[in-house]
Amino acid sequence: MRAAPAATEAIANIAAYKFVTLDDTDELRPRVRDWAQAAGLKGTVLLAAEGINLFLAGAQAGIADFLGHLRADPRFADLEVKVSHSDSVPFGKLLVKIKREIIRMNHPAIRPEERRAPSVDAHTLARWLAAGVDDAGRPVAMLDTRNDFEVDAGTFEGAIDWRIQRFTQFPDALLRHREQLAGKTVVSFCTGGIRCEKAALFMQDAGVDHVYQLEGGILKYFEETGGPGFKGRCFVFDGRDTLGPDLAPAACA
């Protein structure tokens, strides 16, 4: 696990999502915006009927205050947050948006709130990668569900990369290349886990056996293990550009 942040890393960066039915996004949006503004945070919050997805940064006290308000809503009481630190806020402004999906796939039958594919935790995956097989002796195929430019910054050694340019292309890519996954334990992964919530379910529905999603994504893997088997850096959609296995931005690496 990563050591505590240095004293100079005054800014907390949080990423979180939850698939949960929200039938009041119009009312929820101004409340979330007001909480974030009062806490001095910047970043993006996406709200949709299927849930919430957020990336925010600010002083640690402000982050704690915002999460206190958000988790007071029973729907978000168990919201899990991934935290990293930086010397400055990597966002220029605060945006709170209502979207059709919190991660767009264009397959409304895929509903992670109702069902979830099995997940593998960071330490178990590190052990599988070191052995080259899972606990049942099957070869492990790492499947990168991110966009091509994200993969170019870094990915797991030997990972399958279908060079998609947006996540909405993943379903068609899977159907074209499904035979590539036969006989293997497939671990889908992305930055923070949200894309794999849908990707793993789609693979199950498409008849792919032995499908897992990496719990918490690459960032959780970095946090828990230090990143064995990952080559390069993890692209992030903010001013930090990429994070290393120590969760440090490029300028601090």
**Residues 6+ positions from 137 with CB-CB distance below 8 Å:** none
SS3 207: coil
Question: Helix, strand, coil proportions of the chain in percent (round to 5)?
Answer: 35, 25, 40
Catalytic site positions:
190
For residue 122, give the H/E element and its range: helix 122-131
| 48/230 Cα distance (integer angstroms) | 32
Residue where the block lists tokens 């399958």: 160
The letter for the amino acid at 183 is G
**What is each CA distance from 170 to 40, 59, 77, 177, 223, in whole angstroms?**
36, 36, 31, 10, 27
